[in-house]
Structure 1
Amino acid sequence: MKIVVQVRLMPDAVQAPALSATLHAANEAANWLSAEAHARGEKDRTRKALQGFAYAALKERGLSAQPALHVLRKVADAYTTLRASVRAGNLGKPGSKRRVKAESKPVQFRPDAAQPYDDRCLSWQYDAGTVSVWTTAGRLPGVRFACSEQARKMLIEHRKGESDLVHRDGAWFLIATCEIPEAEQYEPDGFVGVDLGIVSIATVSTGYRAAGRGLNRHRKRQRDLRKKLQAKGTKSARRRLKKRSRKEHRHAANVNHIISKKIVTEAERTSHGIALEDLGGIRQRVRLRKPQRVTLHSWAFAQLGSFLEYKARRAGVPLVYVDPAYTSQQCSECHHVEEKNRVDQARFVCRNCGVVAHADRNASRNIAHRGEAVWIAGRESRVPVTP
């Protein structure tokens, strides 16, 4: 299983300009290659396509062998991602303005876009807390980095593959890839269902409920503050906006980490599996009034799902996805489905058997039942073969 570890680089007054010049040179070369690839219609990283005509030219632009290959790969991957988005319909139907705009011009890279490094261009000195990194001005030794002891231990034991050099908001980072072995998955003694929502971020069938009021209040405060600063438009307001950028995202990610850790820990302690709703494409399916759209599109349910998934894999906890259809209208006791069962946002009253329950708790129990059915359906049959 792959996990990324982010460490903070602390270059001195001589090292920082060299790193900045390297990023600018790599991304300038990537933009040139992207324009050439778009004009020629050759967007595959092979000797007969991009590498065949661009490798020597990239080296003439100040890149050594490995960084030139990384630039080739970065451009090819960008066009692969674009083609995948077009095929998936993410850019609209054929002939739509958004799709025509995306396909009619080459992919562009920011001057400070991340640049990948492999072990030939980057070496780690964990005891000294430094890295040696390639730049256009030559090898740059002794660049200090800082991280937690847990992150340092993970880097020493599991770091493998490439690391990305990132310059963000005036700070330098290295994002390293770690290959962590997955724990052996156990046979679950039942499943806990997790109902994701906006009023309640996560409601678990065991009784745990993560209320979303605090996070929603924080998001509203951030939106109101951004609106005021944007309306003011002064230099200090723009500086304040830049300083506060991504603060809401970091806060939401921290909340999701806490919630997912609690759910996985409880499932592991009770030897249960986790059942999640498959909410892929919900933003395209749901139709809401304009005031509600901001709330829906700032809902980080996909991030919470990904956190639950990788934490469950690390702990060996089985995790399955189930169909979310009618989980809020179905009674978890008699399984009767009716739209009128959902009285309001928080209350569920079954019209068939009379069960009264919290709507999200009832939905989480339905998800748990479906998780057991999915798990059983996916197992190999243990019935003896008829002689």
Structure 2
Amino acid sequence: MKIVVQVRLLPTAEQAAALAATLTAVNAAADHASEVAYHRFALNARQVPLHRAVYADLRAQGLGAQAAVRVIKKVVDAYTTLRATIRAGNLGRHDSPRRIKAESKPVTFRKDAAHPYDDRNLSWQTDARTVSIWTVHGRLKHLPYTGSAAQLKTLAEHRRGESDLVVRGGKWFLIATCDIPTPETYEPRDWVGVDRGIANLATTSDGVNHQGRGLQHYRRRMARVRAELQAKGTKSAKRKLKKWARRETRHATHINHAIAKSVVADAERTGRGIALEDLQGIRDRTRVPRHRRVTHSSWPFHQLGDFVAYKAERAGVPVLTVDAHHTSQTCPRCRHVSRRNRPSRDTFRCVVCGLAGPADHIAAVNVRTRARTAWVLVNAPHAAVSPSSRQGLSRAATPVLP
């Protein structure tokens, strides 16, 4: 499987100036190539035709041969992404303002946008922890870098493919692609059901609860800060808004990483698999009070699921997604389903058999039960599974195995 490793470069002032000049030059060249691509090929830019159209111009602007090739590939990838976004409907219908705006002008690049390097214009000396990198002012040799011990080990053992040069807040980074071997998925002894939410970010069928109260306080404070800055409307306020938005995103990502790591470690230690709810379209299916709409629409539920999936794949832990409907309204003892089983958001009390407990824990237990049933059907011989059972399985669960 492919992952990325980020290391921080430690350039001198002169080296940092050369790196900054390089990003400015390659992104200006990318803007030129993008304009040519748009006027000649519309949104259908391809590598070879665009190479023939702009390669000589990019070389005349002072770019090296391989740098020019990387710029062309960068532009082609940008248009490929734009076409995929349009096909997926993420910019609306053909007459929507967002789609019209995207289709009516060439793709542009920030002057400090990331730029890809390959092994021809970037070489790694992992023993010395230095890199040799091409710039418009010549090749910078013995440029030191640093990172965590685990990342440096992964980089030294598994680096393959491109690396991106990135600048954030005056700090320089290289994001390297690593191809690590994927362990074989084991046969699970049982399943850990995971219920994802807002008040409780993740609750497992073992009763482990990753609460979100601290995060809610943090996000409410960030909302007040945003409101104050938006009321000012100055350029400095807008810059601070972007800065705080990036900080909030990093904070949420860190929390999701920590939760996913804990869930996967627990499943691996006990030889179990991980069962998740299929939350696709959850925001369209649910209704929340007005004061909670911002929190409900902005929390990255999908990101947490992705983190669990890729960490589980690295550990060889099987992952199964099951139907999310009525998991918090179904009694795990008598299987009675009713809205009245949820007298409040945090409480479950079955109106038939009287079973009571925290609602999120009950939901996680139901997720685990559905995973057990689905796994039996997935592994059963075809002759032993009736057509009706197969249809039920397709609706109930989808295996997501590495």
Is TM > 0.5 for Structure 1 vs Structure 2? yes
Could you tell me how far apart the structure 1 residues matched to 2:199 and 2:172 are? 37
Q: CA deviation at 1:375?
A: 2.6
In structure 2, the CA distance between the partners of 1:374 and 1:81, relative to structure 1 (3 Å rule), is farther
Correspondences of 1:114-133 after superposition (within 5 Å): 114-133=114-133
How many residues are aligned here?
383
Could you tell me how far apart the structure 1 residues matched to 2:284 and 2:89 are? 11
Could you tell me how far apart the structure 2 residues matched to 1:211 and 1:21 are? 46
Contact kept in structure 2, 1:34 and 1:106, CA below 8 Å? yes
Q: Which residue of structure 2 aligns with residue 97 of structure 1?
A: 97
Correspondences of 1:218-233 after superposition (within 5 Å): 218-232=218-232
> Per the alignment, in what secondary structure is the counterpart of residue 165 of structure 1?
strand
Could you tell me how far apart the structure 2 residues matched to 1:122 and 1:378 are? 47
Could you tell me how far apart the structure 1 residues matched to 2:378 and 2:58 are? 50
Q: CA deviation at 1:211?
A: 0.5
Could you tell me how far apart the structure 2 residues matched to 1:280 and 1:163 are? 32
Q: Which residue of structure 1 aligns with residue 216 of structure 2?
A: 216
Correspondences of 1:62-141 after superposition (within 5 Å): 62-141=62-141
Say what the alpha-carbon RMSD is for the aligned residues: 2.2
Q: Which residue of structure 2 aligns with residue 177 of structure 1?
A: 177
Could you tell me how far apart the structure 2 residues matched to 1:130 and 1:238 are? 37
Could you tell me how far apart the structure 2 residues matched to 1:136 and 1:324 are? 54
Could you tell me how far apart the structure 2 residues matched to 1:288 and 1:103 are? 35
One-letter code aligned to 2:268: E
Contact kept in structure 1, 2:330 and 2:337, CA below 8 Å? yes
> Per the alignment, in what secondary structure is the counterpart of residue 198 of structure 1?
coil
Q: CA deviation at 1:300?
A: 2.0
Q: Show CA shifts across 1:63-106 (max 9, x none).
A: 22222221112111111111111111111122111111111121
Contact kept in structure 2, 1:45 and 1:72, CA below 8 Å? no
Contact kept in structure 2, 1:193 and 1:368, CA below 8 Å? yes
> Per the alignment, in what secondary structure is the counterpart of residue 145 of structure 1?
strand
Q: Which residue of structure 2 aligns with residue 32 of structure 1?
A: 32
Could you tell me how far apart the structure 2 residues matched to 1:378 and 1:356 are? 32
Unmatched segments (≥5 aa) in structure 2: 385-402
In structure 2, the CA distance between the partners of 1:203 and 1:174, relative to structure 1 (3 Å rule), is same
In structure 2, the CA distance between the partners of 1:38 and 1:377, relative to structure 1 (3 Å rule), is farther
Q: Show CA shifts across 1:222-268 (max 9, x none).
A: 22233334545678767765665522222222222221111111111
Contact kept in structure 1, 2:194 and 2:274, CA below 8 Å? yes
Q: Which has the larger displacement, 9-18 or 324-333?
A: 324-333
Could you tell me how far apart the structure 1 residues matched to 2:242 and 2:11 are? 22
One-letter code aligned to 1:75: V
> Per the alignment, in what secondary structure is the counterpart of residue 295 of structure 1?
helix
Q: Which residue of structure 1 aligns with residue 200 of structure 2?
A: 200
Q: CA deviation at 1:44?
A: 3.3
Q: Identity rate of aligned residues, in percent?
A: 54
TM-score normalised according to structure 1 size: 0.92
Q: CA deviation at 1:353?
A: 2.5
Q: Which residue of structure 1 aligns with residue 376 of structure 2?
A: 376
Q: Which residue of structure 2 aligns with residue 316 of structure 1?
A: 316
> Per the alignment, in what secondary structure is the counterpart of residue 47 of structure 2?
coil
Could you tell me how far apart the structure 2 residues matched to 1:357 and 1:93 are? 46
Contact kept in structure 1, 2:47 and 2:76, CA below 8 Å? no
> Per the alignment, in what secondary structure is the counterpart of residue 249 of structure 1?
helix
Q: Which has the larger displacement, 263-272 or 253-262?
A: 253-262
Contact kept in structure 1, 2:47 and 2:72, CA below 8 Å? no
1:330 aligns with 2:319: no
TM-score normalised according to structure 2 size: 0.89
